[in-house]
Copies of this chain bind each other. A is one copy, B any other.
Amino acid sequence: MRLFLSAGILYNVHMFQKIAFIGLGLIGGSLARAAREKFPSVWISAKTASSKTLAYAYDNGIIQGTPGSLAELVGDADLIILATPIELITAYVKQIYPLTKPGAIIIDTASTKQQIVTELKKYSDKFIGCHPMFGSEKTGIANSSAALLHGTRVAFTPYKNTPRGKLLAVMQFFKRLGCRPCKLGAKEHDAAVASISHIPYFGAVALLQLADDATKAALASTGFQSCTRVAESDPLWGVEVARSNRKEVLRHLKKLQRELSWIEQLIGRGDYKGLKEYLEFSRQIRRGIYR
């Protein structure tokens, strides 16, 4: 077992005996299922916006506790996971911070980090920005699954003064859940997810607007299906992303248009040699990522 000493406390992956969730949708639900699977002795409790979700989680053995108040929920929790919509994160951290014990770790699951991390700077002894990068075009706890975590990235955006033992323990914890944790700066994170997650989504959405007629629909095949799969995501997620990562999304939307305009220019002037090089270069970028 790996132990991490921090401020006189020994942290390790088995220290998370009590885990509290606020929010149990697709992300929270999947994390809870995975934690239960890998650490059967863990006690998981939760608070959710809908009582139906909470009942489902309890009835399906995903959680054991359904405390009445926030204080009861987080008071003796070792790890608190905020898996609510993005706009609720900062308020919840501020609210629960004084209710938690000193050794507690609070993480969120929001897909953009800069705004949240900046706003929560003074809670850095307990709060660590976290973005588990899995998902599905489906939503809700009924679609959650531990299998969704398999091999996916979990990005941490710690502060300079984040207790090192806490960071290492929580990263180790996610590793045990089958994920590939990594850490990076919040600004760097937001630029990266704009280009590899948010812009591909808006690109897919834009592509679909070009397919709005019966003939096109009839001819659309598996290639188009694959290109546009992410457009099945909840539009509310798209709005959240646009709002919380506005600057990077706008910057990368412009970049994508510039690339498309470049392709248009190459074809327009019949530079098929240049086009072939460009297409080949993109293929090499992809092979660098996925092979």
Contact = CB atoms under 8 A, between A and B. Distances in A.
A193 to B, nearest CB: 7
Interface in A73-122: none
Contacts of A272: 239, 242-243
Contacts of A139: none
Interface stretch (A19-27, A63-71, A167-175, A248-256): A248-256
A223 B198 CA distance: 10
Interface stretch (A34-42, A158-166, A213-221): A213-221
A115 B231 CA distance: 33
B196 A134 contact: no
B232 A283 contact: yes
**Copies of chain A in the complex:** 2
Contacts of A7: none
Interface residues on A, range: 35 or more
Contact of A257 (B188, B200, B205, B260): B260
Contacts of A257: 257, 260-261, 264
A250 B267 contact: yes
Interface in A177-223: 182, 184, 188-189, 192-193, 195-197, 199-213, 215-223
B259 A263 contact: no
A215 B213 CA distance: 39
Nearest to A210: B195
A203 to B, nearest CB: 6
Given A206-B260, A208-B286, A275-B238, A196 B184 contact: no
Nearest to A217: B289
Given A192-B213, A193-B219, 19 more contacts: A152-B222, A153-B219, A196-B221, A197-B221, A197-B223, A200-B224, A202-B263, A205-B278, A206-B282, A208-B282, A209-B285, A210-B252, A217-B285, A224-B289, A232-B286, A243-B272, A250-B267, A253-B260, A257-B261
